[in-house]
Structures are given as structure tokens and as C-alpha cells.
Structure 1
Amino acid sequence: MITTSNILTQPIEYLKGVGPQRADLLKKELGLFTYGDLLHHFPYRHIDKTKVLKISALTGGVEFAQVQGVLSYKEVIGEKAGKRLVAYLRDDTGVIELIWFKGSTWIEKMLKEGYVYTVFGRIGFFMGNPQIVHPEIELKSSEDNGIKNLLEPVYSTTEKLKARGLGGKQIGKLVQSLLALITPRDLPENLPESVLTKGRLVSRYEAYCQIHFPKSQIESNQAIRRLKFEELFVAQIRLALTKSERHRHSKGVIFNKVGDLFNSFYKDHLPFELTGAQKRVIKEVRVDCASGHQMNRLLQGDVGSGKTVVALLAMLLAIDNGFQACMMAPTEILAQQHLQSIQNLLKDMPVGVRLLTGSTKAAERKRILKDLVEGEVHILIGTHAIIEEVVQFQNLGLAIVDEQHRFGVAQRARLWKKAAIPPHVLVMTATPIPRTLAMTAFGDLDYSVMDELPPGRQPIKTVHRYDDHRAKVMDFIKDEIKTGRQAYIIFPLIEESDKLDYESLMQGYENVKAFFPEPRYWISMVHGRQTPDVKENNMQRFVTGDTHIMVSTTVIEVGVNVPNATVMVIESAEKFGLSQLHQLRGRVGRGAEKSYCVLMTSVKLSNDARERIKIMTSTNSGFEIAEKDLALRGPGDIEGTRQSGALPLRLADLVKDKGILEAAKNYAETIVESDPDLDSAENLRLKYYLMSLKGKTPWSRIS
């Protein structure tokens, strides 16, 4: 006997019309194991059977339609495999052909010429005339008008299921059987009454019934809106609770003063005026670090927005308060670059800055480890080498992770364990994250955005050129080199890729050499196959200006800083995603000179590629590009940025449902602010529902 409390956990084979063999297929083909899984197998659309169209209104734009008319003629044509029944339905505007290939004998007996029928099906055309193959057909009775008051659900299925009599229609019948067994007690309300009232949401039970079998389009819309809201609200309430718990309970070291190093650097050593965005973020960091709770902040800054200076000021704040700081970068090149930038900014200041990477020599490594424990090293910059067990700090107070999505959650966690009280955490990314995605994926973090460029920086001019304009592009690079500038030429992959037939880096390198012969021009080449030493040497030659052109794959995508480089040519630009194109473009425009990005493509472009190129040439804003990228590609696997798998959304769409997401976030934050433990009578049902889901959340905390 099935009790109402556990009906949704019942195995699918127990449902009338399923049985063991069909159940095996439903499990393998659609992942439907229980009654609950079937309930959540939502129709992907509904066919509106509430309207009757005139036959003359059937055009190429109509996919499915219902018509009504007199059956004027029928005949069976052909023999054996080619046998078919053809009938003609006529209304006062025209004629439509109806065709049956299967069951023609008994259908022919059933149909009566001269009677009025209601017919429904997918509209096709033959020789310009409308037709329906295997229509649904019903005799119009004298009691009704022949029109069903119904939106018929259409369910996804597979060829294997269809072959076993489980097409979309049959799945609909199974759902009908299931809904006949379910009562409101099986789908208890999980949202607070105030949210239901203010949000004008239908009950949970109604929503599940109406999303499958609505009586009208209004009912369908209400059901979909309610269930989308529930998905997004549950995600937001969990994130808000995690954030609230951290703010209330996590213990953090206190930076209670802004000391001599911070003030001296700010007043005497800063080479430029900070932007408003940089000042705002530094203030947010100062408030966090003085609160007594652990800071856990994501700093998102567009390429070139000055995140390194903000990171340095945060580290000086730690040192002024008697703590050490560390900065972890995903590659040796990026770590060395941070070291050089920070050493340049701190010259003549009494701050011990060291670099620890996989290639640090044993003697130097030993010295660094000793000096770290003794407190002689104030700032340690490095790669994964920092999180090794042997690396111990005297008093780590701040950990900064650059391009944090390159590190796994477990790797980051090892860094936080380097101190008795977990250090404050600042994770930085130059990958713009759309606001809707940030709200969903990073809602448990405090979140800072830097969207201003430092003064003196000019916007990069981005142009699109086809391959047949290559000579002109190369001439333009020669003109820039004449004025003392440098250029990047980027290829999408290297020669070991046998799957894709793009121009390889090696061919590209030879082509570039033909345009720029030695000794008049010197070229560096960097790619993933080179040893770290060769790669570093070639990179350094470009950084120091010994070479004019850097030919590379996307290894230079993040962090490489050569202010003298003013041209970025991206070969086969149609092969890159929007965010990658934006990251590559961000390697130029880092000095005061006017910079250019040239997107080279073949003449034949897909619509998607054309759209990406158009976006890139129309804006320099990483945030705008990220929003458009999300709209083009969808959220997919949200990183990368969070390494937590795809968003668990069955219905909601982060692009289309931005308004619902905003509302869900506002309700969630208001509830958690006033009742952080969800103990009030009104919030208890929400609390119990979240407890029932415990362990099913994919979100992982940063610390």
C-alpha cells in the first residue's frame, strides 16, 4: 500500500502502465527512476487545441493546427508497403489532405463522407497544398462544438522509447495516472505565506498539476512562473544562509589599524591616482578585515582595471597589523610578473617580498622557508608550491588568489589551513562574470566589482579583417614597430591537434617570418609544448623588447603585461569564444599609447561567429561581453568560476528569467536578514524543506 508521505519516492515500475521492462527503458533513456522523477519530467511545450483555424489560414509559419470541416472524399491508394488512405476535409475557405500510412483499413471503415470532423496535426505542404499525415480525427457530435478546451503537453522521448510504445503521448498518459494518485499532502507548500502573497504565486500542488495539464495559457504561465521562482529562491536562500552564517560565526584576525606602510605607500609611492572603483574596493576590504569575522571576498575586475594595486594595499594593511600575506597565481609567468610589479611599486620600502615556484632552486627554497617561519618574509608570491605541507608561515593573515578558477576548491582550502585562525581571503578574477551568474554562483561571497580603467589608458580599437587583407594588416604592424612598438600574433592551437584543421602555429610562424624577415625584425614564439625554461626565455625577450613580435597560442591569455605592445592580431578569431577574445585583447592597451586588436577570419562565417565578431568590435566592456556571451551560450557548466557543475535548474533560465532571479534574491535576503535561523512560525516550513534537501546542494564554499 502506498502512503501519501512516500508516494513520490516509489519506483517507477509500480505506476500503472509501466511495469519492469518499460521501467528499465525509462531509467536508461530518460533517467526516470521514481514517481517524483516522472513528475519533474516537464513538457517542453503545449499544443493549443483550443483554437480552430480556417484551412486558408494554414501557411508555412503554422506548425500544428486544428481545423474543422466536412469529410468530402476518401480513397485507399497503392498496395502492400505503398498502401495509404487519403481523405479530403473541406471548410468554407479551402481543402486539406489527410493521409494515413498505418491502420488505413480500419480508419477507412470508421470515416464517413459528408460528416463534420475536428482534425488536429502537424501541417505539411505538398505541391503548395496543405496536408496532415496521421492526424488526430474526431467526429463532431451534436452536443459540443468539437473543440477540446485543452493545451496538450508535448514530452521529450527517444526513438527506443517510441519503439516500445512510450512516445510523448504515452508519457503524458503516465503523468495523468500519476497526478490522479497525488494529493496536496504529497506536495506540501515550502514557501512562506508572505512570499506567496507578495509574489502572487499559485500553490505548489497547483503548479505541478498545471504545468503538465493546464486548462489555459494563463494557468500554464502561472505554473511555470511559480516553479521557476521556487528553483531560484531555494538557490538564493541557501546562499544567503551560508553568507549570514559566515558573517555571524566565522572568526577572523582583526586588522584594526591603517599603519605606516599603507599610508606611506598611498601618499608617496603610488605612481598614479586610484580610480573610484579601486578606492571603493579598498574600503570594503578594510571594513571586512576589521570586523572580527573572516573576509571572503570575490574581486572581479575587467582586464587592466588595476586589481594588483588593490591586492598590494590589502597586503600592506595585513603587514601593518603584524601579519604576513601571500598571493597565489596559476602559472610561473604570472607569479613572476606579480613579483616584478610589486617589487617595482615597493622599491625603497622595508617590505620583504619573495617568490616561491616549482622551479625555485633548493638552496633558495630552504632560505625562503626559514625566513617565512621567522617572519622575515612579509609577502610570499608563488604558484601551487605555496600550498605544499613544508611551507609554514609565522603569522599568515591574508591570502590572495589570482585567477581563482584555475585552482580547485581543495587546493584553496589547503592555503586557508596555514594559520590557526583562517586568514582573510581575497579571490580575484579578470574573467567578467555576468551579474545573473554572479548572483547565483557566488551569492555566498561578498562581491566587489572594478569596472573603471586607470587614468591615461585609452580604449582599444577593435577591427575585423578577412584573410585576404592580411598584407595590409602586416604593413600596419610594420608601421607600429617603426614607432618603437611591439605586437602579438595569436593562433588558436598548435600542430599536435590532429582533430581540427586550423592553420597550425608552426605554419603561422613561417608565414609571419616571410612578412618580417630577420635581422630587421625579431620574433619570439611561445606555445604549450615548450619546456618552462624555453617558454620563459622567449617571453622575457619580448617583455624586455629584444623581439618585436610574439607569435603564440593562448598561453599568453591571462596576466602577461607588456605596456609597449600595441597590436594584438588574433588569427582564426571565429574559433574563439567571446570571453577568450576579450582576455586576449586585454594584453594590449596596458600603456598610454593607442592600441589595436585585429580579428582575422576566413570569409565564410557562421551566424554565431559573425555575432561574436560584431559584439567584439562594438564594445570594450568585459561585463557587457559577458552578458552577451551568457545569452549566446547559456550558463552551461559554471566553471571554471566555481567548479561545481552545471546549475541545477530544470526550468529557470538565467538570461530570460533575470526578473524572477532578482525578485527571488530580494525575498531570500530579506527573510535571512530578519530571521537568520528560519525559526519563526512562518519560515518553519521553508526550514524543514531545506533540511530535507540537505546534501543535495552543489555549491561549495570558497573557504
Structure 2
Amino acid sequence: MARRQESARGSMPLKELLISKESKAMASFGVRDLDTMLRFAPRRYVVPAPLRSLREIHQGEEVSAIVEVESVHDRAMRSRYGFLLEVSVTDGTESLPLTFFLTKQRQVDWHRGRLPIGALILVRGTVGYDDYRKALQLTHPDYEPVEDTDEGRAWAQRPRPVYPLKQNIAQGTMRSATEKGLEYAGSLSRTVPEEVITRRGLPSLEEAVRLVHVPLTTEDTRRGMAHLRYEEAFILQSVFAQRRAQDERTPAPVLSADGPLQGLFDERLPFELTAGQREIGDELAARIAHGHPTSALLQGDVGSGKTVVALRAMLRAVDSGHQAALLAPTEVLAEQHHRTLTTLLGELARAGQLDAHPEATRVRLLTGSQRTSRRRETLLDVTSGQAGIVVGTHALLTESVGFASLGLVVIDEQHRFGVDHRRRLRAKGPSGQSPHVIVMTATPIPRTAALATVGDLDVLTLRESPGRRAGVTSFVVHEKLPAWEQRMWQRAAEEIAAGRQVFVVCARIDEDEADAPAPPLLDEDGTERTPALEPARGVHQSALRIAERPELAGARIGILHGRLSAEEKQHVMKQMVDGEIDLLVSTTVIEVGVDVPNASVMIVLDAERFGVSQLHQLRGRVGRAEHPGIAFFDTSAVVGQEHSQHLQRIADAADGFELAELDLRRRGAGDLVGEEQSGLQRTLKHLDVLRDSRAIEQAREDAFAVVASDPELTAHPALAGAIEDRLRDADPDVERS
């Protein structure tokens, strides 16, 4: 508690510093103390127009001028309620009227008090024209006292901060509040150690907040923001560093055995492992052989062979006398993984059966919709340890599932699981030990983004493809160009005629439901906006319309969505795999993991409603064998407009890393240490994980060094308090994001 109090010295309540109007304005943004207010940066800055002589100005121009007040007159307006205040000013060469239309006498008095005759002021505004007097004027200009000196002129040209506003809050109120707070900048909590600030050439915190809120030049704003961005990166990397240090103190099963299952599996593989698969496999093997939990992100594009790499690690766990669990986000994907693993392992997965290999283990599937008898049988194998590998959905997280000795957890498509899910699964390790964790994703993260978003995971990347796939070509199809759409369906019919299969994906199940929300778009200033979209099509209605298309006459059409029972889903997918369905209309339930090698066409209807990673995953469902794949992103967007351009960028980018950067800019990085999985502005106030890559890497180096020398941060109470604040809304034991 003493540490928390010491770290909060700069957290003066704003009610003690500001007038009521100012403190309420700040509170509307959740800003209630000095530390938070002075780190609440402007959204942007307005740079005044160059100082001009009044002789040089023209109608419609932005003007800044240093002038002297010549006269002030006011009168009640005849044609409408209120008062007209006219102020004549001069710069010694020309005079210009300033006009104010005011509703209350006290407003008139306020302006008169600030504009006495002879006062020198800086005036800024847009030059207008008075039709009655046939003369130029400034209506409701900004003005402030100024000195006609070099210093005064520099002050007149300073960038003006523009803060975000809410209803009934004036920009002047936000500026006034912040400027008052700067008087107490010396009492702010200094999160980053002074020696680090000096080494990195950053301004002190006190200087930085002054540069941010009252800069004299644009360069001042950059220098001030550099400190705030670095500080944010430093706090985030300190969280990751503490987690890494905690791992070093936590015991984990030692998975160091070299066989026999691993060798037998490699022998029966029908293909050669790539150099990348072997390299990453060896690196994982070295990591899980340690007695402390490994947390690794195994990332690779669609088709890079991540599942085989993960399976080899799981077999090492079984060879070492422990169990491995593979957690999938949907039952369809869990069932697909179970089929894939048992097919790859063959007799090595059939322990207890007559045709099993003597060294075989059991691979069990556990889902929420399993029949009671099958579930009971699976749970018995899991509890007794007979099942070396368990594949499942969220059902694996329930308290009723107890492992004999869980040594390794593999999580597929990590963005589908909340951090709480992962924490609960890690808690199922044997006798106080924490299992090793491998997180797989087919939506790769650029290196610098990974340092910021999963900084406590070791990132392992598969960049090469095994080369057993024909690949996919993507096209954007605009419904407003009927010939394009007709050709899309003709192309699908041609593939079916050639004996191949087609997926059609819809954004929702039924069209009479509430419209699905569009993926968020971020403006340049970080605000979120949702453009209007035409209603999305549903699975049921689309299947009926497709059946009526002459190009697809005679095609065998099936449907698949989340409301079907587990048995119905399994039956439909079996029909698709067995070639009994030519065209499957589905929701995104097929987004990940579904493997139908004969499928060659993916049509995504209302493609503008899907995220970048979703579209990339969906097109990865075709072209998985020797037949080239074709992906059509069908959209109602206008050709060349925003949605159309965005889809075209996705279609043009075959590399998952390029798409990941595009997705990161569009959706944001997520809550980096808490529960949220997307939405950059929910977590990062100043830092941009792509723009600020150098600051992130430097902060990582410095934070890990500080935590290594002082794991409990006893000598750094302000940093400990900042970390506590950062984790306030998240579980302190939260698993890696």
C-alpha cells in the first residue's frame, strides 16, 4: 500500500486544481487526476496562418495579425434578439472591424473587459465581407493579449492544441484546464527511470508535458510526444518482463524425450518436412525441455504447415510421459483437427485397438455436444492418462475435465479465445506445474507489432510453404457491374463441371435478423466510424437464390451454420469431404481449419462486412491440393470507393504479413494485457505499434533490464504503480494476450 501511495503523488484530484466546469469536462473523458490529465494529449494541433499586414489580406483567407484596439461599440440588434459588438483594430497601416453577435449583456461585458482601447492583441480568423458596409471584416475571431516583441511574435505563431470534445464542452475549457495543471507538472509520477530518459535523449517528463500542451513549434510537439510514447511502451514492456520473470520462477514439466512416437511419426509422413518446419520444431523442442513454462507464438501463413510442427511437439510431450491438449474455437474446427491428427498418425493414434502400433497413444475429441456415453469414455481416458492427445473446444476448460499430467497446450487461432480461457487451461498442469503453451495463428503479426502486442510470447515464424498447394487467386466482384457477377457464377459452374467444389460464405444465417455490425474503421485521428452498408444476405435465402441460377442448374447444394446440431454439422461436412455436395452455402463456421482438398472456389458475399483476417482465412479454404483456387470477394460497394479499395488491397496481397499490417491499421491491436482482443484505442493512447517500432524495441531492452535487476520494482515505485493502474481492469494473473 505504501508503494501505491508513493506512486500516486502526482495523482492530485482535479477538483482541487480546477474550477467545476473544467474538472467536469475532464471527467467526461475519465480524466480525474493530474497525472492522467497531463498525459491526455491533444488530438491534433492547428498552426496559425503567418502574421500578415492588414493591407495584404483578402476575403476567404485565414489571417493572423498583431493589432491594437482602436474603438469598441455595442448596440442591441433591431432585427433579432441580442447584441452586436464591433471592435475596430489597426496594425498601423490599415484598420479592420471585428464583429461579434452575442445573446447576453454579460457576454458583451466580458469581451469589453478583454478588449480595452490601446490593448495589443493577436487576432486569428477567416476574412469575411460586410455587404452593408462593403468592407472586409473578421466575425467571431480568436484573440488573445500579446507583446509586439520577437518573443511575442513567436508565441503568436505557436501551434494550438485541439483536444477531443463532447457535447457542451468548449475547446477553451480543455486548454484552460490543462494550462492550470502545468503549474504542478513538477509533482507528476515519473514512471521511466531518469537514467533511461537521459540515455535515450528524451526530454524530462515535466518538460515533455509542457511541450505537448503549450508548444512554441511543431518540433516541440514531436519531442514532447516522444516521451509519452516511450513511457507507454516502457510500461507495457515492463508488464511483459515481469511475466517472463514469473515464468522463470514457475515449474513446468520437462518434455525432453526423443522418442519413440516422434521418430515413428516422421517415418510415416508422406512428405518431407521443410527446412523451416525442422528448424522451428527443433527450437520448440529445446524450449519445452526446460523446467519452466514456455509461451510461444507459432505463426505462419495459411498452408505453411503449422499443424505438423505442433503435432511433433505434442508427441514429444507424450514420449516424455505427459499429455498434450489442442484447443480449437469451434466444434467444426475441433472435429477437423481430430480427423487430421488421427489421419496423420494412423496406427500411432489407435492405442487399445487390434491394429494399433505397440507404441501408440490415444487421440480423443471432447466437445460440448458429445453424447453422454462418449463424453464419459473420453473423460476417463483423459483422467487416467490413456489419452496422450486431447482435442477439444471450450469444453476442455470446464472444472469436470481433469488431466492426468498435462504437459503441453496448443491453442489454435488465438484471437478467438479470451485470455481468461487460456489462463484456465494453463491452470490444469500437474501438481502445481504450469504446462507449456504454443499459440498458433495463420494471421501473422509484423515483428514490431508482435513486440508490442505479444511481447511476452516468443514469436516463431514459418515463412515458407511446403509447396503441396496450388495456391489461390483473388478477385473483387462488384454487384453494380452485373457482367462481373454473372461471370463469377459461371466460373463456379465450370469448376463444378470439372468435378471440383465451391464454398459460398454469408455474413449471417437469416436475412430477417438484425443487421450484423460492420467492421470498425478508424479515422486518421483514431476515432471509429461505421459506414452505412446494404443489408447482408443470409445462408438460407442465398441457397434458394443460387439454386435458381441457370448457370448452376443441377448443382447439389448444402447449407452449414452454427444453429445446426453437432450431428447435422458433422453430416454436412462429411458430405462435403466425400464429394456429395457441389456447393456449400455457409457462415464463417468454415473460416479456419476446414480441409476439403477438392474445393477450388470461395465466394464471399457482402465481403465488405468481413475483417482482413477473416477474408484471408476464408480464401485459404480453397486451393489446398493440386487444383488452383479462386476467391471472389463479392461486394455491393461502389467501384473505386473506400470499401472497394480496401477489398482490392486484400485481394492483391497474397502475403499474410502484409495483410496483418493492413488489419492492424484497420482494427487495432487489442487490449495488450487484458481481455479485449481488438480495438487499438482501447489500449494505446499514444503509441502506434507500426510507426513507433524503434521506441518499442528500445523500451523493451530497457524494461527487461530494469525488471531483471529489480523483479519486484522495489526501487521503482512509480513504475510499479503505473503497472498496477494498467492492469486495474484486468486479472493480475491474466494470460498472454
Q: Hey, what's the Cα distance between the residues in 2 that align with 1:542 and 1:124?
A: 70
Post-superposition Cα deviations, 1:109-137, rounded to whole Å, max 9, x if no partner, equal: 99899999742135678999986431134
**Matched residue, 1:538:** 572
On the 8 A contact 1:523/1:549 being kept in 2, the answer is yes
Cα distance, 1:410–1:170 mapped onto 2, change above 3 Å: closer
The structural deviation recorded for 1:7 is: 6.1
Matched, 1:564 2:625: no
Distance 1:183 1:418 in 2: 48
DSSP 3-state at the match of 1:80: coil
1:667 is matched with 702
Give, in whole Å, the separation in 2 of the partners of 1:520 and 1:190.
Answer: 69
Distance 2:337 2:7 in 1: 59
The equivalent residue for 2:589 is 555
How far did residue 97 of structure 1 move?
6.8
1:255-270 equivalent positions in 2, closer than 5 A: 255-266=255-266, 268-270=267-269
> SS in structure 1 opposite 2:81?
helix
- Structure 1 residues 67 and 326, CA gap change in structure 2 (3 angstroms): same
Whichever residue aligns with residue 426 of structure 1, its letter is I
Task: Answer yes or no: is 1:471 the counterpart of 2:486.
Answer: yes
The answer for the alignment partner of 1:460 in structure 2 is: 472
Identical pairs, percent = 32
Which deviates more, 539-548 or 188-197? 188-197
Counterparts of 1:305 and 1:168, CA distance in 2: 52
Q: Structure 1 CA distance, aligned partners of 2:657 and 2:538? A: 31
Distance, in Å, in 1 between the alignment partners of 2:144 and 2:401 is 79
Structure 2: which amino acid aligns with 1:237? S
TM-score of the superposed pair, with normalisation by structure 1: 0.86
Q: Shift in Å at residue 202 of structure 1?
A: 0.9
Matched, 1:211 2:212: yes
Cα deviations by residue, 1:302-329 (Å, 9 ceiling, x for unpaired): 2222121112101111122222222121
Partner amino acid, structure 2, of 1:119? V
In the alignment, structure 1 segments of 5+ residues that lack a partner are 162-166
More displaced, 202-211 or 688-697?
Answer: 688-697
Which residue of structure 2 lines up, in the alignment, with residue 422 of structure 1? 434
Matching of residue 432 in structure 1 with residue 432 in structure 2: no
Of 410, 417, 438, 1:407 maps to 417
1:568 deviates by 0.6
Q: What letter corresponds to residue 101 of structure 1 in structure 2?
A: F
Pairing 1:153–2:161 present:
yes
Cα deviation, 1:150-182, whole Å, max 9, x if unaligned, reads: 534333333334xxxxx22233233333333x2
The DSSP-based 3-state class of the residue aligned with 2:724 is coil
What are the equivalent positions in structure 2 for 1:546-625 lying under 5 Å apart?
546-602=580-636, 604=638, 607-625=641-659
- Aligned residue pair count: 681
Amino acid in the other structure paired with 2:497: K
SS in 1 for 2:437: strand
Partner of 2:65: 67
Alpha-carbon separation, structure 2, partners of 1:621 and 1:670: 35
Q: Work out whether 1:133 is the aligned partner of 2:139.
A: yes
1:15 aligned partner, one-letter code: L
How far apart are residue 635 of structure 1 and its match? 3.3
**Matched residue, 1:445:** 457
Residue 655 of structure 1 pairs with residue 690 of structure 2: yes
Secondary structure of the structure 2 residue equivalent to 1:427: strand
Determine whether 1:236 maps to 2:234: no
SS state of the match for residue 348, structure 1? helix
Label 1:172 to 1:74 Cα distance change in 2 as closer, same or farther (>3 A). closer
Contact 1:70 1:114 survives alignment (8 Å): yes
CA-CA distance at 1:237 after TM superposition: 2.1
Deviations 1:290-312 (A, max 9, x none): 12212222222222221211121
CA contact (8 A) 2:515 2:536 kept: no
Q: Which residue of 379, 390, 399 maps to 1:389?
A: 399
Say which is worse superposed, 385-394 or 111-120, in terms of deviation: 111-120
1-side partners of 2:58 and 2:612: how far apart? Answer: 41
8 A contact 2:7–2:721 mirrored in 1: no
Deviation of 1:235 (Å): 0.9
Task: Find the aligned partners of 1:141 and 1:676 in 2 and give their Cα distance.
Answer: 51
Separation in structure 2 between the aligned mates of residue 27 and residue 174 of structure 1, nearest angstrom: 8
Which AA in structure 2 matches 1:489? Answer: V
Deviations 1:454-508 (A, max 9, x none): 2132331111122212221111111111221111111222324234622333332
CA change 1:112–1:189 in 2 (3 A) is closer
Distance 1:656 1:88, change over 3 A: farther
The equivalent residue for 1:318 is: 317
Rounded to whole Å, the distance in 1 between the matches of 2:95 and 2:472 is 62
SS at match of 1:222: helix
Tell me which residue corresponds to 1:176.
179
Q: Which residue of 2 aligns with 1:14?
A: 16
**Quick one: which amino acid aligns to residue 171 of structure 2?**
G
Q: Once the 2 structures are TM-superposed, how far is the Cα of residue 548 of structure 1 from its aligned partner?
A: 0.5
Question: Which range moved further: 619-628 or 211-220?
Answer: 211-220
Structure 2: gaps spanning 5 or more residues: 349-359, 517-534
Q: Give the AA of the match of 2:403.
A: F
Partner of 1:304: helix, strand, or coil? coil
Q: 2:509 touches 2:540 (CA, 8 Å); kept in 1?
A: yes
Q: Which deviations, in whole Å up to 9, do the C-alpha atoms of 1:539-580 show, x marking residues without a partner?
A: 221122101001112221121111111111111212222222
TM-score by length of 2: 0.82
Aligned mates of 1:93, 1:302 — CA distance in 2: 69
